[in-house]
């Protein structure tokens, strides 16, 4: 597919369009959520309100929502984020709003952890996940890890005072498999690596980015998700940091944090660092080859602290109800 110079001219007016822009259809692209359910929930409400407001102006208005991945890790409640998104899937038949869920690198690691059957690979997956905010994901499912100071062949998890060996990591997998509900596993299995639709042919959606030297139809999964070899990961990052975009289409992606939604001639970056201090969860509203508006929500929960080791909350005995049954 080649959209040519006409698309470039159309896209040049991307910035500054007002909410009064009247269109027949739009797509709402939501950036990285990272376990911040307190930002996702109001975002979902805001998106649905925006859709209803536009439908009052234009009864023919139709919309769909694309979530660009990284639902888990770093934030305090990955479990509830997946719960909320799973419910969104069920709503599609009721409200007619199509939802598409793309895989981010953190989401894919969680799925790999739950499905891996080879111990040597499982330990690598588990360590990668825990090194980059997976401790918070585990805690949201009620799984906590303790420092194994007496074991041999332990490796330190990044940032925290936590050393684990292979046995610990395999036990971690087993506990996560028992803690993650089946409908969450089903949600993760149904994630897409990219999304392109005839209704919005000018946009291509993925989590991390593309190899800008190739057509969007020839992209590698690892580059789209932001995983794999160092070269593949560098390709994703360089696309997000150093290019105007792909050659033949407008790529909408997250993964690489920006201070604000960044609009280039062939790229829209929508990860605005929800887990960082001052960060937000962002949604870009897209129509007619441009961003016509955006929605941003600041989380109430604290910013991610990579040095924090989650521990189970201890409920005071005095806070428990007294047993006053007659003896």
- 250-259 residue pLDDT tens: 999 999 999 9
Instruction: Report how far apart, in Å, the C-alpha atoms of 52 and of each of 25, 95, 101 are.
Output: 12, 11, 22
Domain assignments of the chain as residue spans, ordered by start: 4-297
- 3 state SS of 201: coil
pLDDT at residue 322 above 60? no
In which element (H, E) is residue 104 found?
Answer: none
Question: b or e along 292-326 (b: 16 or more beta carbons within 10 Å of the residue's beta carbon)?
Answer: bbbbbbebeeeebeeeebbeeeeeeeeeeeeeeee
Q: What top-level class would CATH report for the domain 4-297?
A: alpha beta
Question: Quick one: DSSP state of residue 210?
Answer: -
Question: b or e along 255-264 (b: 16 or more beta carbons within 10 Å of the residue's beta carbon)?
Answer: bbbbeebebe
Quick one: pLDDT at residue 302? 97
**pTM of the full structure:** 0.90
DSSP bridge partners of 251: 204, 267
Q: How far is CA 209 from the centre of its chain?
A: 14
- In angstroms, the CA 171 to CA 165 distance is 10
Paired tokens of 327? 């003896």
pLDDT band at 20 (very low <50, low <70, confident <90, very high): low
- In angstroms, the CA 135 to CA 143 distance is 8
Distant-in-sequence, close-in-space partners of 260: CB < 8 Å, separation ≥ 6 = 272
In which element (H, E) is residue 216 found?
Answer: none
Q: Kindly report, residue by residue over 172-231, the tens digit of the pLDDT.
A: 999 999 999 999 999 999 999 999 999 999 999 999 999 999 999 999 999 999 999 999
Nearest alpha carbon to residue 82 among 170, 156, 158, 182: 182
Q: Kindly report, residue by residue over 125-164, the tens digit of the pLDDT.
A: 999 999 999 999 999 999 999 988 777 778 899 999 999 9
With vertex at residue 204, the alpha carbon angle to CA 2 and CA 91, rounded to the nearest 5 degrees, is 140
Bin 273: left if φ > 0, else alpha if -120 < ψ < 50, else beta.
Answer: left
Q: How many CB atoms lie within 10 A of CB 10?
A: 15
Quick one: pLDDT at residue 318? 53
């Amino acid at each position: 597919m080649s959209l040519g110079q006409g698309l470039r001219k159309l896209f040049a007016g991307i910035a500054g369009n007002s909410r009064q822009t009247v269109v027949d259809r739009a797509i709402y692209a939501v950036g990285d959520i990272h376990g911040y359910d307190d930002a996702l929930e109001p975002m979902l409400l805001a998106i649905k309100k925006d859709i209803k407001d536009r439908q009052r102006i234009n009864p023919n208005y139709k919309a769909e929502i694309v979530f660009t991945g990284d639902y888990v890790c770093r934030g305090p409640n990955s479990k509830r984020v997946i719960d909320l998104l799973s419910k969104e899937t069920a709503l599609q038949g009721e409200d007619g709003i199509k939802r598409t869920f793309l895989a981010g690198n953190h989401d894919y690691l969680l799925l790999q952890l739950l499905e891996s059957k080879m111990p040597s690979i499982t330990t690598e997956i588990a360590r990668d996940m825990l090194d980059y905010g997976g401790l918070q994901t585990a805690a949201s499912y009620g799984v906590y890890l303790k420092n194994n100071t007496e074991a041999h062949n332990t490796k330190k998890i990044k940032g925290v005072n936590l050393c684990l060996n292979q046995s610990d990591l395999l036990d971690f997998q087993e506990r996560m498999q028992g803690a993650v509900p089946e409908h969450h596993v089903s949600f993760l299995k149904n994630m897409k690596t990219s999304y392109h639709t005839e209704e919005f042919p000018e946009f291509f959606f993925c989590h991390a980015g593309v190899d800008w030297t190739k057509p969007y139809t020839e992209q590698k999964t690892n580059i789209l998700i932001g995983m794999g070899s160092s070269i593949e990961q560098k390709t994703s990052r360089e696309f997000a940091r150093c290019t105007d975009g792909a050659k033949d289409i407008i790529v909408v992606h997250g993964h690489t944090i920006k201070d604000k939604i960044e609009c280039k001639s062939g790229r829209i970056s929508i990860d605005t660092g929800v887990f960082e201090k001052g960060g937000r969860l962002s949604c870009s509203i897209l129509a007619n080859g441009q961003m016509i508006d955006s929605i941003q929500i600041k989380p109430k929960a604290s910013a991610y602290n990579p040095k924090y080791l989650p521990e189970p909350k201890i409920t005071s005995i005095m806070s428990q109800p007294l047993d006053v049954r007659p003896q």
